[in-house]
Amino acid sequence: MARRSGSFSSITEPFRSFWHRFAYGLLILGAFGLMMMGKADVVLVERARLAIADATAPILTFLSHPAATVSDLLQQMRELRDLRDENARLREENDRLMQWQLVARQLESENRSLRSLTGFPVEPASHFVTARVIGDGGGPFVRSVLVNAGERQKVAKGQAAMTGQGLAGRVAEVGYQHARILLLNDLNSRIPVLIEGSRDRAILAGDNSDRPRLLYLDSNAKVSPGDRIVTSSHAGAFPPGLPVGVVISVSDQDVRVKPFVEWHRIEYLRLVNFNLTDTPVTDPDSRIPNPRIPGP
């Protein structure tokens, strides 16, 4: 037995000493190699990346719970303090929204009758998957988050990620039980948008700052601070009309947009499956939920 292990170590010995001497250099080379292969989108590297992220997703989910509890607690304390003001504000807002609801119902019925007159096809309904943010892009050079929904929940690459306030980003990578959302202020984010009032098309391009830019805007387009920006369906991936942000500054060099999303408040994201190949919902009524009428 001792002989055999001796002969085994005599085989491995040269490798071991080689490794000890050159480990550092080899690892650096390995890192460079990974970088090149990652840049060249080698499938194997992409798969390995997904596998590691999938393996770490449960740990991140576990860790994100206590952090969320603490931040919820702080939030609750803040809310308790502002309860009275908040209540007054909500009452006022409720009154206003009631009027808006009336307008919306009228428009909805008018829209329906006009659609039936013109034979306009009903847009396919969107499905949502709501996912919890489990990892914040910790690096200073990347704006992305990890969520705990993946292929298992039918999340697919390219879907829009929304918060209650507006568009947050787009699904960039999908694993079995996680997905990475590229936020719209990331360097690599490009999102087709419309200026809501004038219907001018543009591309919303992030540059890692909090204020992404509008690119490829028509030179004749009239844009001024305060204009709302919504998604356009031109790339085919996004539902049209999702709120994105407002134009905050217009200068000769660039047009900057302030997104509606509050970045630090992203706790849950709705991933919108706007699948054009889906069978369209035949009953248009089901697209807008009816308000609950309080019983007598």
Partner 1 sequence: MKLSVAQRLDVWARRSLPVALTLMLAFIGAVPTGLPYLGSIVPAYTTMAVFYWAVYRPDLFPAGAVFLIGLVEDVITGTPLGVGILCLLFIYGVSLGQRRAFLKRPFFIAWIGFAVLSALSMLLAWLMISIMAGTLVELRAALFQYLLTIALFPCLAMIFVAIHRHMVR
Check binding of 88 to partner 1 (CB under 8 A). no
Check binding of 111 to partner 1 (CB under 8 A). no
Structure tokens at 209: 């700052």
Near partner 1 by CB under 8 A: residue from 13, 17, 18, 28 = 28
Angle at 261 between CA 271 and CA 52, to 5 degrees: 50
Check binding of 145 to partner 1 (CB under 8 A). yes
Structure tokens at 67: 């952090």
DSSP state of 287: G
Residue 96, SS3 per DSSP: helix
Near partner 1 by CB under 8 A: residue from 9, 21, 31, 197 = 31
Residue 122, SS3 per DSSP: coil
Nearest approach, Cβ of residue 271 and partner 1 (Å): 17
Please list, residue by residue across 269-286, b when 16 or more beta carbons sit within 10 angstroms of its beta carbon and e when fewer do: bbbbbbeeeeeeeeebee
Check binding of 254 to partner 1 (CB under 8 A). no
Write the CB contacts of 132 (distance below 8 Å, at least 6 apart in sequence). Answer: 61, 64, 147, 148, 267, 268
Check binding of 141 to partner 1 (CB under 8 A). yes
Q: Which range binds partner 1 by CB under 8 A, 111-119, 131-139, 156-164, 229-237?
A: 131-139
Q: Which is nearer to partner 1, 79 or 92 (CB)?
A: 79
Separation between Cα atoms, residue 114 and residue 6, nearest integer Å = 88
- Please give the residues from 184 up to 243 whose contact with partner 1 meets the rule CB under 8 A: 187-188, 207-209
Q: Which is nearer to partner 1, 60 or 125 (CB)?
A: 60
Near partner 1 by CB under 8 A: residue from 21, 52, 79, 120 = 52
Check binding of 30 to partner 1 (CB under 8 A). yes
Integer CA distances (angstroms), 92 to 97, 98, 293, in order: 9, 10, 20
Q: Which range binds partner 1 by CB under 8 A, 54-62, 100-108, 218-226, 285-293?
A: 54-62
Please list, residue by residue across 28-65, b when 16 or more beta carbons sit within 10 angstroms of its beta carbon and e when fewer do: eeeeeeeeeeeeeeeeebeeeebeebeebbeebbeebe
Near partner 1 by CB under 8 A: residue from 8, 12, 16, 67 = 67
φ and ψ at residue 99, rounded to 5 degrees: -65, -40
Check binding of 64 to partner 1 (CB under 8 A). yes
| # residues contacting partner 1 (CB under 8 A) | 53
Could you list the residues that contact partner 1 (CB under 8 A)? Answer: 23-24, 27-28, 30-39, 45, 49, 52-53, 56, 59-60, 63-64, 67-68, 71, 75, 133-146, 180, 182, 187-188, 207-209, 263-267
